[in-house]
């Protein structure tokens, strides 16, 4: 039996802990029971400490990894410490190592993915290392749990689900639009302009051109190239970098900046070779290039 323990107010800070740890941390565990399980006590304390560090922010990810690794050495057959190691590595940007470690944890106990924060880290690691089909599956399975996140993490997760669904090509567009509409309702602060850009891109790819134009003309301002380079946007688009170029290109095109749009569309073409959206980006670039010949 497993129990979800939440450290702090955010579901992102949660981790899956064995019921044995929960028993040790309750008032009912007596001294004799605890003395019989000294290794498990040490393990649970280290896992709890590493999760607490991870919950304090990405800057503490290295420290969280080190404590989790210490726990893993205490009871190397268990999965929980590996989960924290993997999540910490994702926060540190070491996604290739994270995939390997999280695969090992999942092989030991598939229930680790019942915890939303772990599934989000798993999906991000897969997407950022090019495991597209597995990433789409992970994000699809994450979607029902997104409401458990708070603030910027919830907004980011919704947009990432939309981007992952779009990575399937046209077959994923309807679900992507549905999810991105929700992200627009949830989004605030840095999340709002990113949600607008990605939803407009989904509209345009679905041939809902008037919806894309209406959204961009009423909900955006400033240079979209700067928007997609903001810290929040870069983190979100890290699972689909070509879409950052396409989203900013579309916004520039609709705003009337044909030269800026063409430059971005050409960059999107170069970046989209392995995606289902190469012809889409080429089509925009070709139309703009043709229009520029007639309207220098």
The CATH number covering residue 253 comes to 1.25.40
- Per-residue pLDDT, averaged over 73-79, amounts to 93
- Total structural domains within the chain: 2
Residue 228 belongs to a domain: yes
Terminal-residue alpha carbon distance, the chain: 69
Task: Determine which of 44-48, 87-91, 240-244 has the lowest per-residue pLDDT on average.
Answer: 44-48
Name residue 16's beta-bridge partners: 4
- Pick from 149, 182, 214: which residue ends a domain? 149
Considering only CA atoms, which of 265, 240, 5 is closest in space to residue 114? 5
- For 114-147, write each residue's pLDDT tens digit: 999 999 999 999 999 999 999 999 999 999 999 9
Residue 82 belongs to a domain: yes
- For 151-160, write each residue's pLDDT tens digit: 888 989 999 9
Q: Taking the model in full, what pTM does it have?
A: 0.86
Considering only CA atoms, which of 115, 154, 8, 74 is closest in space to residue 86? 115
Query: CA 123 to CA 104: how far, in whole Å?
Result: 15
Instruction: State residue 29's pLDDT score.
Output: 52
Contact 229, 245 (CB under 8 A): no
Give the H or E element holding residue 5: strand 2-5
Instruction: State residue 37's pLDDT score.
Output: 76
- Pick from 127, 149, 171: which residue ends a domain? 149
Query: CA 156 to CA 146: how far, in whole Å?
Result: 10
Task: Determine which of 30-44, 67-81, 173-187, 275-289 has the lowest per-residue pLDDT on average.
Answer: 30-44
Residues 160 and 269 in one domain: yes
State the virtual CA torsion across 129, 179, 158, 113 in degrees, nearest 10. -70
Instruction: State residue 8's pLDDT score.
Output: 30
**Maximum CA pair distance of the chain?**
86
Residue 33 belongs to a domain: no
Query: CA 16 to CA 10: how far, in whole Å?
Result: 14
Instruction: State residue 118's pLDDT score.
Output: 94
Residues 113 and 136 in one domain: yes
Task: Determine which of 1-5, 32-36, 86-90 has the lowest per-residue pLDDT on average.
Answer: 1-5
- Per-residue pLDDT, averaged over 73-97, amounts to 95
Name residue 15's beta-bridge partners: 5
Contact 139, 160 (CB under 8 A): yes
Residue 97 belongs to a domain: yes
Number of neighbours of residue 129 by Cβ within 10 angstroms: 16
Instruction: State residue 190's pLDDT score.
Output: 82
Residues 22 and 138 in one domain: yes
Residues 145 and 165 in one domain: no
Residues 5 and 139 in one domain: yes
Name residue 5's beta-bridge partners: 15
- Per-residue DSSP letter, 211: H
- For 251-261, write each residue's pLDDT tens digit: 999 999 999 99
Average pLDDT, the chain: 88
Q: CB-hemisphere CA count at 13 Å for 45?
A: 8
Output the domain CATH number for residue 60: 1.25.40.10
Query: CA 52 to CA 1: how far, in whole Å?
Result: 22
Name residue 3's beta-bridge partners: 17
Residues 107 and 205 in one domain: no
| pLDDT band at 244; cut points 50, 70, 90 | very high
Query: CA 259 to CA 254: how far, in whole Å?
Result: 12
Question: Where do we find the tokens 């919830």?
Answer: 154
Contact 158, 179 (CB under 8 A): yes
| φ, ψ (nearest 5 deg) of residue 15 | -150, 155
- Per-residue pLDDT, averaged over 215-229, amounts to 94
Highest mean pLDDT pick, 23-27, 108-112, 121-125, 178-182: 121-125
Residue 238 has pLDDT above 90, yes or no: yes
Instruction: State residue 218's pLDDT score.
Output: 93
Give the H or E element holding residue 17: strand 15-18
- What percent of the chain has a predicted confidence (pLDDT) above 70? 86
Considering only CA atoms, which of 59, 51, 50 is closest in space to residue 6? 51
Contact 150, 11 (CB under 8 A): yes
Task: Determine which of 7-11, 90-94, 167-171, 291-295 has the lowest per-residue pLDDT on average.
Answer: 7-11
């Amino acid at each position: 039996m497993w129990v979800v323990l939440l450290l702090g107010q955010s579901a992102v800070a949660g981790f899956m802990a064995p019921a044995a740890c929960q028993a040790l941390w309750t008032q009912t565990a007596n001294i004799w029971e605890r003395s019989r399980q000294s290794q498990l006590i040490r393990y649970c304390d280290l896992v709890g400490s590493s999760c607490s560090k991870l919950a304090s922010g990405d800057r503490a990810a290295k420290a969280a990894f080190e404590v989790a690794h210490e726990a893993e050495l205490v009871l190397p057959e268990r999965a929980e410490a590996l989960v924290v190691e993997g999540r910490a590595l994702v926060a540190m940007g070491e996604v290739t190592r994270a995939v390997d470690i999280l695969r090992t944890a999942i092989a030991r106990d598939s229930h680790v993915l019942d915890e939303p924060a772990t599934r989000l880290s798993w999906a991000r690691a897969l997407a950022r290392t090019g495991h597209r089909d597995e990433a789409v599956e992970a994000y699809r399975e994450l979607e029902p749990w997104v409401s458990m996140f708070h603030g910027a993490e919830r907004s980011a997760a919704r947009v990432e689900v939309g981007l992952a669904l779009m990575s399937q090509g046209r077959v994923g567009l309807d679900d992507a639009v549905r999810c991105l509409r929700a992200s627009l309702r949830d989004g605030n602060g840095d999340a709002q302009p990113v949600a607008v850009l990605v939803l407009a891109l989904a509209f345009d790819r679905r041939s809902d051109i008037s919806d894309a134009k209406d959204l961009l003309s009423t909900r955006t301002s400033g240079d979209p190239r700067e928007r997609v380079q903001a810290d929040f946007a870069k983190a979100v688009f890290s699972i689909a970098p070509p879409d950052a170029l396409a989203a900013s290109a579309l916004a520039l095109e609709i705003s009337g900046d044909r030269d800026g749009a063409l430059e971005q569309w050409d960059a999107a073409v170069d970046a989209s070779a392995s995606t289902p959206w190469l012809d889409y980006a080429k089509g925009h670039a070709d139309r703009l290039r043709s229009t520029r010949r007639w309207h220098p």
